[in-house]
Amino acid sequence: MAFFEAMIHHNPLLLHGLIAGLLASICCGIIGPYVITRRVVMASGAISHMAIGGVGAGIYLAYMWVDPTFRLRVEELTGGLLPAPTGDQLGGAPGREQVDQAALFGAMAAAVIGALLIGLIHQRVRERMDTLLGAIWAVGMAIGLVLLKLTPGYQAEVTAYLFGNISFVPLSELVVLGVLAAFVLATVLVFHKRFMAICLDEQQAEMQGISALWTNLVLLVLVALTVMTVMRVVGLVLVLALLALPAATAGHHATRLVHMMWISVILCMLLTTVPRILVYDTPISPEPAIVLAAGGLYLTSVVIRRAVLALR
Amino acid sequence: MTSTATASNPIAEITNVTFGYPPAGAERPVLEDVSLSIEPCDFLGVIGPNAGGKTTLLKLILGFLRPQKGTVRIFNQLPSRMRHRIGYVPQHATVDASVPADVLDIVLTGRLKGSSWGPWFGRGEIDAAMAALEQVGIAELARRPLGTLSGGQRQRVLIARALVARPHLLLLDEPTANVDAHVEAGLTDLLHQLNRELAIVMVSHDVSFVSAHLKRVACLNRRISVHAADEISSDIIARMYGGDVRHVHHAHECALTDPGCKEGCEPTHAQASSGTTTSAAADPTDPQR
């Protein structure tokens, strides 16, 4: 196949993409079932859009730090509204790798802050949660767009964070993603029983001395880190396609949470590899192809399930 | 078990408790000057009208609420520290049946403590959960998902979950709220069996179904009066409910004094039981809420 030939002979980035996809699959496959059963799909969407704000902030700060002329331009654009940079100014624009790192860590910080914020709000005000999530969702993205607009030069690359860019994952980022995935996996191994308890019956968990607030915060932070692993694969805007849809599909056919995880890990792995290989050398971008495949799979599963139930 | 669980010490000691919900607090008490002692192997039914303070009493025993006046002690300690000694069976609405988990998974969560970490339960914990399922007579359902069970079976799952931590006291909140008459009968026998090993307190609109096995009945409507089960009369019930809740009054009087006429009372009874216990937090002077 053309994809594998290219991967082996002249484009190691294709392999990076595959590995990034598999790391994202492990995280999504394990965290997704919690997201579905705990009903925090919308919270996850809000977290991922907060991360867009973080991308903007990260890149903005990178420019602030590195480019002396940038400060003047920002002050000019905003009439002194936004703060000017301090500290050493090395001169020149930041390189592509620096921008990528700034974006990744900015997104991660924003996503984790968003997760903590949502977890705390969730405990206090239950009823208007969907409205608040909608607000965080929209405002997070708007912050990102404002800051990115102020940051010239790399606007073309912004789509890489919004809509994914699985064909260009630098090795350094792959290492970060690997560490994230290992952290998510290890935390789940420690917390699984507690997550299970709050998914099943929060009130009972509280009675047994398991804090719903803290457990929920840990879970939402894991969602935030999982969002980071998905950023390059389908993009921050489309995270839910990989986080929620395969897990929901698995939920149609699993009777235990652990089975749901196994099925959704496998589904995610198939989704991040097969569509990508199929659309290689065609004008279709791999990232939306992955999303469409996830959506198609989910809808098919819904139809099959209804048919099975109707036949009984 | 520690020495606190001896026969001479009461499991729970509630002394002169007055409690009201904020903002009014003790100014408008839901419970007033309530004293109650629960002994080992007690079987106490707490009956009273909606908003009479039944659920509030359970929350005080569990340490989720603190009284403005008086004390609640479980094994001579603050209730919030002794929660692991108490098994609590909520009305089954609190378990999310759409969560992918089988009966054994759910019962196992009853073993969790603040110090429980790690991905899965050990052999010993699984054995304990199976033993609890045996105890409530549904061991063969261990691998069935919760969604496929009947109301009575779900009720037993929740009781097993409460039993798996080996409590000394079992609290049941409206165990008959959503189950049929024949399920009630099975539940009665089960509770009677369990009562050989542990104390049981159950809160209900409808105490008739276990009245044969109950050792004591506490009538609760802001104030409490505790009676031996055999001395409960229509007179006591009538005094507690007052004249303004006639249909409830009628149902209980009928059910308690003459079990044979229970069928005849069923329609009024259903009406009397249709409210939820959460309304106990509401205005105590308005039983219709």
Does pLDDT of B217 surpass 70? Answer: yes
pLDDT category at B161 given cuts 50, 70, 90 is very high
| Chain B residues close to A190, C-beta within 8 Å | 117-119
Chain A interface, mutation test: which of B85, B112, B171, most A Cβ atoms within 10 Å?
B112
Judge whether B125 and B178 are in contact, CB under 8 Å. Answer: no
- Give CA–CA dist B36/B201, Å, rounded: 11
- Give CA–CA dist B126/B131, Å, rounded: 9
Partner-chain residue, chosen from B88, B96, B100, that has the shortest CB–CB distance to A256: B100
Q: Is B88 at the interface with chain A, CB within 8 A? A: yes
- Give CA–CA dist B236/A238, Å, rounded: 65
Does pLDDT of B63 surpass 80? Answer: yes
Partner-chain residue, chosen from B62, B100, B113, that has the shortest CB–CB distance to A37: B100
Q: What is the pLDDT of residue B287?
A: 40
Angle at the Cα of B106 from the Cα atoms of B105 and B112, rounded to 5 degrees: 90
- Give CA–CA dist A52/A260, Å, rounded: 29
| Chain B residues close to A255, C-beta within 8 Å | 100-102, 145
**SS3 (DSSP) at B171:** strand
Q: Which residues of B226-242 are buried (b: 16+ CB within 10 A; e: fewer)?
A: eeebeebeeebbeebbe
Q: Is A78 at the interface with chain B, CB within 8 A? A: no
**B106 contacts A256? CB cut-off 8 A:** no
Does pLDDT of B164 surpass 90? Answer: yes
| Chain A residues close to B117, C-beta within 8 Å | 190-191, 193-194
**B119 contacts A193? CB cut-off 8 A:** yes
Closest Cα in chain B to A198: B109
Q: What is the pLDDT of residue A118?
A: 92
Output the 3-class SS for B243-273.
CCCHHHHHHHHHHHHCHHHHHHHHHHHHHHH
Q: What is the pLDDT of residue B244?
A: 41
CB contact set of A283 (below 8 Å; sequence gap of 6+): none
- Give CA–CA dist A232/A25, Å, rounded: 12
B215-228 average pLDDT score: 86
Partner-chain residue, chosen from B100, B110, B114, that has the shortest CB–CB distance to A255: B100
Q: What is the pLDDT of residue B189?
A: 86
Among A154, A143, A139, which Cα is nearest to A102's? A154
| Chain B residues close to A196, C-beta within 8 Å | 101, 105, 109
B171-185 average pLDDT score: 79
Q: What is the pLDDT of residue A248?
A: 95
Q: What is the pLDDT of residue B259?
A: 38
CB contact set of B134 (below 8 Å; sequence gap of 6+): none
How big is chain B by its Cα radius of gyration, in Å? 19
Q: What is the pLDDT of residue B186?
A: 84
Q: Is A33 at the interface with chain B, CB within 8 A? A: yes
| Chain A residues close to B95, C-beta within 8 Å | 200-201, 204
Q: What is the pLDDT of residue A4?
A: 85
Size of interface A-B (CB pairs under 8 A): 91
For residue A244, the domain's CATH number is 1.10.3470
CATH class of B8-94+168-281: alpha beta
Backbone angles phi, psi at A166, to 5 degrees: -70, -15
Q: By CB neighbour count within 10 A (0-12 exposed, 13-18 middle, 19+ buried), where does A11 fall?
A: middle
Judge whether A233 and A25 are in contact, CB under 8 Å. Answer: no
pLDDT category at B18 given cuts 50, 70, 90 is very high
List, for residues B103-135, the tens digit of each pLDDT value: 999 999 999 888 888 888 999 999 999 999 999
Does pLDDT of B4 surpass 60? Answer: no
Chain B interface, mutation test: which of A39, A185, A208, A214, most B Cβ atoms within 10 Å?
A208
More confident residue, A177 or B185: A177
**A254 contacts B100? CB cut-off 8 A:** yes
Q: H-type helices in chain A, by residue range?
A: 2-9, 12-37, 41-66, 68-78, 96-124, 129-150, 155-162, 171-200, 202-207, 212-234, 239-243, 245-253, 257-278, 286-311
Low-confidence ranges of chain A (pLDDT < 50): 85-90
CB proximity under 8 Å: B 124-163 to A:
145, 161
Of A119-123, A293-297, B63-67, B274-278, the poorest mean pLDDT is in: B274-278
The listed range with the strongest mean pLDDT (A59-63, A292-296, B177-181, B276-280) is A292-296
**SS3 (DSSP) at A90:** coil
**SS3 (DSSP) at B72:** strand
Q: What is the extent of the structural domain holding A224?
A: 2-311
Q: Is B80 at the interface with chain A, CB within 8 A? A: no
| Chain B residues close to A201, C-beta within 8 Å | 94-96, 109
Give me the residue spans of the domains in chain B.
8-94+168-281
pLDDT category at B236 given cuts 50, 70, 90 is low
Does pLDDT of B54 surpass 70? Answer: yes
Q: Which residues of B96-135 are buried (b: 16+ CB within 10 A; e: fewer)?
A: eeebbbbbbbbbbbbbbeeebeeeebeeebbebbbebbeb
Does pLDDT of B140 surpass 90? Answer: yes
DSSP for residue B200: E
Does pLDDT of B196 surpass 60? Answer: yes
Number of domains in chain A: 1
| Chain B residues close to A256, C-beta within 8 Å | 100-102, 105, 145
- Give CA–CA dist B216/B39, Å, rounded: 11
How big is chain A by its Cα radius of gyration, in Å? 20
| Chain B residues close to A199, C-beta within 8 Å | 96, 99
Q: What is the pLDDT of residue B235?
A: 63
**B118 contacts A189? CB cut-off 8 A:** yes
